[in-house]
Each structure stands twice: as structure tokens, then as C-alpha cells.
């Protein structure tokens, strides 16, 4: 859901590094699976809804973005689960690893594909980093809220079961 909404809202600035950092908290397999799914959804939105042209450079950039998303997921998943500094420090380290890997793949692609070198100007890279930081913060808050709702609901159900009444 997040990949679809973020792709619709941000198109070319979809925060794949933030999505990878969140997914990597679970497992490497989930991080890679989510990265692939997020990329597929992003491409479907780009080509299907936003009318991206079906020309070789655009298709090449689409593949480069997919490779970058997978590299981001792998880099984030390589960060150990338990780190000094707690969950926030670990999430930021995952994001930093994911963002670096993603940008490195796209930078390499810029040597092969037309029109990519301008995308690596410092203000643009900083803007993308800030988008990823904001996405990580927002999605983390949504995730924490969802976990709190589930805990609350299961606690009420358990209490009702102990009293012998339906929840």
C-alpha cells in the first residue's frame, strides 16, 4: 500500500531506500520481496497511469531503478538486527546503507543511460535523502500505531475471554 501511495504522490522520487530499511527489519527475504514488489508497482503506475514512454532509455532507467531497489534492500538487510543505540539508530543506519546502495546503482547507470548525470547534483540527492527520511519516519509511526492497535485489541479480547464474555 505504501509503495503505491508513495509512487502516485512522488513518481520519480519513490523512497525505495526507506521502504527497504523498514522491510529489512524483518528479514533479508522480506526486504528483497518488498523491494521487487514496490518496484513492479512503481513501474506499473509510471507506465500505466502516468504515461511514461516505452522507449529504450526509459525502460533502461526502469530496470536501473529496480536494480537499485534490490541493492537497497540487500544493503539494509546486511545491517545487524541488534545494534548499540537502539531501534532508531538501527533504522537510520539501515536507511543510510539502503540510500547509498540505491544511489550508487543509479549513478553507475548514469554512465550507460542518457539523461542521468544531472540527477546527481547535490541539491537533488539531498532532496531525495530528505524524502526518504520523511518516509521512514512517517511509515515507522504508522507501523508503531498499527502494532499498538493490535496489542490493544488482543488485550481486550483476552480480558473478555477471561471474564467469559465475547469481545
pLDDT 10s digits, 47-101: 998 889 999 999 999 999 999 999 999 999 999 877 667 888 999 999 999 999 9
Mean pLDDT of all residues in the chain? 85
**Cell numbers describing residue 162:** 477471561
16-25, 31-40, 113-122: which has the minimum mean pLDDT? 113-122
Q: What is the pLDDT of residue 165?
A: 62
d(CA 121, CA 93): 23
**Cell numbers describing residue 40:** 513492479
In contact, 61 and 114? CB cutoff 8 Å: no
Q: What is the pLDDT of residues 3-18, one digit of tens each?
A: 677 667 666 678 999 9
Residue that has been written with the C-alpha cell 527520511 in this structure: 133
Q: What is the pTM of this model?
A: 0.82
Q: What is the pLDDT of residue 83?
A: 66
The arithmetic mean of pLDDT across residues 120-136, rounded, is 90
Task: Give 94-149 as a 3 state SS string.
Answer: HHHHHHHHHHHHHHHHHCCCCCCHHHHCHHHHHHHHHHHHHHHHHHHHHHHHHHHH
Burial label for 139, CB within 10 Å (0-12, 13-18, 19+), is middle
d(CA 9, CA 40): 16
d(CA 68, CA 49): 22
Higher pLDDT, 38 or 151: 38
Residues counted in the chain: 167
Amino acid at each position: 500500500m505504501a509503495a503505491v501511495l508513495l509512487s502516485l504522490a512522488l513518481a520519480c522520487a519513490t523512497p525505495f531506500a526507506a521502504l527497504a530499511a523498514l522491510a529489512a527489519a524483518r528479514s533479508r527475504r522480506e526486504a528483497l520481496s518488498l523491494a521487487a514488489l514496490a518496484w513492479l508497482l512503481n513501474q506499473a503506475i509510471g507506465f500505466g497511469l502516468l504515461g511514461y514512454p516505452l522507449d529504450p532509455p526509459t525502460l533502461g532507467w526502469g530496470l536501473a531503478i529496480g536494480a537499485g531497489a534490490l541493492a537497497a534492500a540487500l544493503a539494509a538487510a546486511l545491517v545487524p538486527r541488534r545494534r548499540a543505540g537502539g531501534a532508531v539508530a538501527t533504522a537510520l543506519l539501515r536507511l543510510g546503507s539502503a540510500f547509498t546502495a540505491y544511489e550508487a546503482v543509479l549513478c553507475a547507470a548514469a554512465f550507460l543511460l542518457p539523461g542521468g548525470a544531472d540527477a546527481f547534483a547535490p541539491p537533488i540527492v539531498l532532496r531525495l535523502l530528505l524524502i526518504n527520511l520523511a518516509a521512514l519516519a512517517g511509515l515507522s509511526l504508522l507501523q508503531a500505531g498499527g502494532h499498538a492497535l493490535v496489542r490493544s485489541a488482543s488485550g481486550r479480547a483476552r480480558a473478555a475471554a477471561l471474564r467469559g464474555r465475547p469481545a
